[in-house]
Structure 1
Amino acid sequence: MRQASNGALSLRAWMQRLQETGRLAVGKPGLRLQHELAAIAQKLDGAQATFFPRPSDRPISVISGIVSDRGWMAEALGVAPEDLLGHFQQAAEAPLAWREVDDAPAQEIVHRDVDILKQLPVPTHNEHDNGAYITAGILIARDPETGVQNVAIHRCQISGPNRIGILLLPRHTDHFYRKAEASGKPLEIAICVGVSPACLLASQAIVPLGHDELEIAGALGHAPLEVVRCVTNDVRVPADAEIVLEGRILPKTREMEGPFGEFPQYYGEPGERHVIEIDAITHRREPLFHTIVGGGYEHLLLGAIPREATILSTLQRSFPGVMDVHLALGGVGRYHLYVKLKKTQEGEGKNVLLGAFAAHYDIKHAVVVDTDVDIHDPREVEWAVSTRFQADRDLVVISDSQGSKLDPSTDKGLGAKMGLDATIPVDAPEMKFKRIRVPGADTLDLAAVLDANGRWQG
C-alpha cells in the first residue's frame, strides 16, 4: 500500500483504515447491481462506506461512500479538518509534476476484446436512470495540440459492449474535444475507476486550462504521483488505479444519453450526447470498482470542497476580512454559500455577496455572517439570519443571472440570486448583539459532575 510522506493514503490504505475504525460495512456476496447496491449505500450514506463482494455474481467487488464525510476526506489526506481548504488551496497553487513509470498495478490485466458490462460490475442506481453508469471514474484527456492533460468526472452511460455515452459540459474536456473534432480526429481519453482520495478531490479543482489535476493530486499527497502510459494511447493515468478504460471520444458522433440522477437529486434530462469508444480495459488483480450514488454525501462533498477553496481564494483577494466559506449540503454543495466575515465597515457585507456570486455561477443563495457564527452549522446561520437580518435593508436580489442548468427551477440555467447580509452593524452598542453565555458550559466535563448510577428516587 502506497502512502505519501504527509500521511495521504492510497485507495487501498484508506479502505483498510475505514475497516479498522468500524466505518466500512460489508454486504453479502451476490447483491444485485441493479438498484440494490445503491439502496444500501444510500442508507448508510455519511455513516459507513460500503464494500460489496461479487455483486450479481461478478468476480470484481464494488465500493461506495468512501469519502462521504468532510472529516474523512481530511483524514485520508493526512490533515486536520480545519486545514482541509488551506491544504487544497496550497496544492492548487503549487502542483507537483508527476513521475512516469514503465510498470504499474493498473495494467496487471489487459483486455483488448472489450465488453464493459461483462467485464466490469457497473451498477444502475436510480429508478429512471437510463441503464448502468460509471459515476466515480476520473476521465483524463490530453490537449491534442500541447499534450497537457485535464482530469474531470463525467457521467458515463454504458450504451454498448465498447460504447459509452458521456455528458460534456462546456469546460476543459470539451475544449480539447473541439480541437480534435475540428481536425476530424477523435480525442484520446482514459477513464480511471478506483483512485486515491487525493486523485478524486484533485479532479474537481477549478483551475485554468493548462493545469494537469494529477499534479494537484501529487501536491495533496506531498509526493509526485506515479503515472503510466496507456497501452493503446498516449494518456497518462495513475499507476495504482484499480481499473482503466482506454478509448476515444468520437468526432461528429452523438447518441442518446440519460436520464440520470444528478447531484441536485433530480434527473438530468436525456439528450444527444458525445460518444466514447473503448479500445481496452486494464486493471489490477482483484480490482475494486468505485461507484458514487448521485446526490449522496460523497457526490456533494467532492464538488463542494474544491469550490470552497476556489471561492475562498477569490474572495480573500478583494476582501481580506473573509475568514472562511462553506457550501452547505442542504444547498446540494453548490447553490447555498455561507461566508464568515470580520467586518470593518458598513456595506462590506453586500460587496462580499456580490463577489461571491461572481466567484462561481452555481451560487444561488449566499449569507454573510460575523466571526462568532459557525458557518458549518446551519442552525447557527439560521439564527444569525433570524436576529441580524432585515429584508428591507439587508437583502440583495439579482434577476436574470446565470445559474446551474441542473437546477430545475431555472429557465435553462437563467435564474435569480439572493444574498442576505446577516452581519452586525459596525457601530452597534456592545450589549445589543452580545450572545448569551453560561460560564463554564463550553469546558464542562460531564463525567466528572454526573453520577452514572444515580437515581432520582429509590
Structure 2
Amino acid sequence: MRMENLATRGANAPSDLRAWLAHLAERGRLAVARDGIALTDELAAVAKRLERDRAVLFPHPDGHEIPVVANLFAGRDWVANSIGVSEDQLLPRFLAAASNPLPTHEVTSGPVQEVVHDDVDLLRQLPIPKHNERDSGPYITAGLLIARNPKTGVQNVSIHRCQISGKNRIGVLLLPRHTFSYYRLAEEKGQALEIAIVIGAHPALLLASQAIAALDEDEMAIAGALLGQPVDVVKCRTNSVRVPAHAEIVIEGRILPKVREPEGPFGEFPQYYGPRSNREVIEVDAITHRAQPIFHTIVGGGYEHLILGGVPREATLLQHLRRSFPNVLDVRLTRGGTCRYHLAIKLDKTNDGEPKNVMMCAFGAHYDIKQVVVVDKDVDISSSEEIEWAVATRFQADRDLMVVSGALGSKLDPTSNNGISAKMGLDATAPVDAPELAFKRICVKDEDQVDLAVALQADQAAAVARLLAEARS
C-alpha cells in the first residue's frame, strides 16, 4: 500500500490518548467514577463491571491528584475507531502499517517531560492500582517498555507486567522475546539495559507493541504508519531511550544485570495467576510526565487485556499464513481461547489435506497457539457458535484431528510443563469432492429481504391481546 494512502487513512484517528477519551465521551462510552475509589481492588472491580460497555475514568483514586483510566478497548470496533478505520478494515490496515513502517521523528522537547521527578517514589508519585485478588501488590500493566538494542541502537516496544517492589524498584517478567534478547546482550557484558516505561500512550502505540515483528523492527514505526505520520519522540533525560513526546508519563530506568528478585503472583490473560518467581529487576532513575497527566491501567486478564493482545497478533498471523496460502481469507484468536491460544482460520479450500498444512504453518507462526480450527469460507469466524457448528458437522476425530506433542507453548498456560505443550489442529472443512447438497448450508429463501416493519402488525401488544381474547371465546 502506498504511503500517501496510509496517511489518508490515518487522518480520522484521534491524535493522542486524550483525543481518544474525548471521542469515547462524545459517544456516551466514557463513564466517570466518584472521587476516592480505592486503588487496591476497588478500582479494578469497577473497571471489570464496565469492561464490555464503557471506558471509565477515576478522577481522584485514593485522593491521588493523577486520574486513572481503564477499558480503552471494549470491542474490535473500538480498536478500529482508535486508528480511524472501520472494523472490516482493521486487519488490512494493520498489515499495511506493518509492511510500510514510518520511522519516528525526534524532537528536542515534548509534553511528557513537563514535570520531572529525580527523587523517585513510585507509589507516592503515581496512582498504581492492585488488580486481581491474589496479585502480589500494585502493578503497572499498560506500560510500554521501550528498550534499545545495545549493539544497533534499534528500539523495541512491548508490554510487560511490572510489580512495584520498592520506592524506585520494579520487578518485571521478561518472556523469551525481543526485550529479553536485548537484556541478555547487555547482561553478558555485565551492563544494565537502559529502558523506559511509557504510560498513557496513543492507542496505536499499544496496538503496535503487540505486533509479531522481527527482531530489530521498531514497533513505534508501525504505530506511525497506523497513524499516517511519524511518532514524535524525545530522548529520555537519564538514558538514551527515545519515548513518545506526547505520552502522559515516562518512567526512566535500567534492567540490572545479574539481579533477580521475587515477582508475582499476578492475574494473567489465561485468567489464572502467573506464579511467584525470581525475575529481572528495574531500578528507576527518574519519572517525567505532563503537567496534568492521566495514568492508564489494564486489569490483568480482563477484556481490554485480551483484545489488545488479540487484534495485532491476528494481523501478523494473517500476513504470515498468506505468504504460503493466499487462499486464507481471515483469522480470529477467539475470546474463549484467551485471544492467544485458540486460532480459527477461514480458508477458501482448493485441495483436501490443505487445512493440515495451514495448521502446521500457524503453529510455527507463534508458540502461544495451542489449537487451530480451519473452517470453510461460509463460516463466520467471529462467532464461536459458528465455529462449533463447523466442528460438529464437518469434522471427524479419526480423520481430521492433528496432534503434535512436546512443542514449545506458553509458559503462562497452567497445563504446560514449563512451556512444553501439545498442539491440536481440527480440520472442520468439507471435502472438495463432496456432492453438492452434502455440505450445503440450508437457508430460507429471501430471509434477508424481509422488512419486519411491513410483515408484522404495527401494534404488537394490541394484536396479541386480540388473539388471546379470540382464543378464550
TM-score tier by shorter-chain length is: over 0.9
**Residue of structure 1 in register with 2:268 after alignment:** 262
2:197 to 191, 196, 204: 191
Q: Assess if the C-alpha contact under 8 Å between 2:256 and 2:283 holds in 1.
A: yes
Selected match of 1:18 from 24, 40, 50: 24
| Superposed displacement of residue 446, structure 1 | 2.4
| 1:182 maps to which of 178, 188, 192 | 188
Partner of 1:8: 13
Query: In structure 1, how many angstroms separate the alpha carbons of the residues matched to 2:206 and 2:361?
Result: 28
Shift of the alpha carbon at 1:131?
Answer: 0.6
CA gap of 1:5–1:403, structure 2 versus 1, over 3 A, is closer
Match of 1:71 among 73, 77, 81: 77
Distance 1:297 1:413 in 2: 24
Residues 448 and 280 (structure 1), Cα distance of their counterparts in 2 relative to 1, 3 Å cut: farther
> What residue is the counterpart of 1:457 in the other structure?
465
**Which consecutive unaligned segments of at least 5 residues does structure 1 have?**
none
Letter aligned with residue 408 of structure 1: P
Mapped to 2, the partners of 1:178 and 1:205 lie a distance apart of 22
Find the counterpart in structure 1 of residue 302 from structure 2.
296
Deviation >4 Å, runs of 4+: none
Counterpart Cα distance in 2 of 1:4 and 1:218: 12
3-state SS, counterpart of residue 282 of structure 2? strand
Paired positions, count: 456
TM-score where L is the length of structure 1: 0.97
Quick check: 1:4–1:223 contact (8 Å CA) kept in 2? no
Residue in structure 1 matched with residue 393 of structure 2 by the alignment: 387
> Are the aligned partners of 1:8 and 1:198 in contact in 2 as well (CA < 8 Å)?
no
Distance 1:189 1:440 in 2: 60
Q: Using the TM superposition, name which of 202-211 and 49-58 deviates more.
A: 202-211
2:428 is matched with which residue? 422
Determine the structure 2 residue equivalent to 1:41.
47
Residue 119 of structure 1 pairs with residue 129 of structure 2: no
SS at structure 2 position matched to 1:247: strand
Q: Superposed, which structure 2 residues align to 1:368-447 within 5 Å?
A: 368-447=374-453
Query: Shift of residue 55 of structure 1?
Result: 0.2
Correspondent of 2:176 among 170, 174, 182: 170
Residue type matched to 2:116 in 1?
A: V
Aligned AA (1:220):
L
Q: Aligned residue for 2:259?
A: 253
Matched to 2:122, the amino acid is I
Query: 2:171–2:280: 8 Å Cα contact kept in structure 1?
Result: yes
> Gaps spanning 5+ residues in structure 2: where?
1-7, 467-473
TM superposition shift of 1:6: 2.2
- Counterpart of 1:390, as a letter, is Q
Offset of residue 447 of structure 1:
3.0
Cα distance in 2 for partners of 1:287, 1:37 equals 18
- Shift in Å at residue 311 of structure 1? 1.4
Which residue of 2 is the match for residue 318 of structure 1? Answer: 324
Distance 1:411 1:181 in 2: 27
Identical residues among aligned pairs (%): 61
What one-letter code is carried by the residue in structure 1 that aligns with 2:419?
A: G
Q: Name the Cα RMSD after superposition.
A: 1.3
Q: Deviations over 1:396-455 (max 9, x none)?
A: 111222111111111111121111111111111111111111122223332343344232
* 1:96 has 2:133 as partner: no
AA aligned opposite 1:127: E
- In structure 1, the residue matched to 2:242 is 236
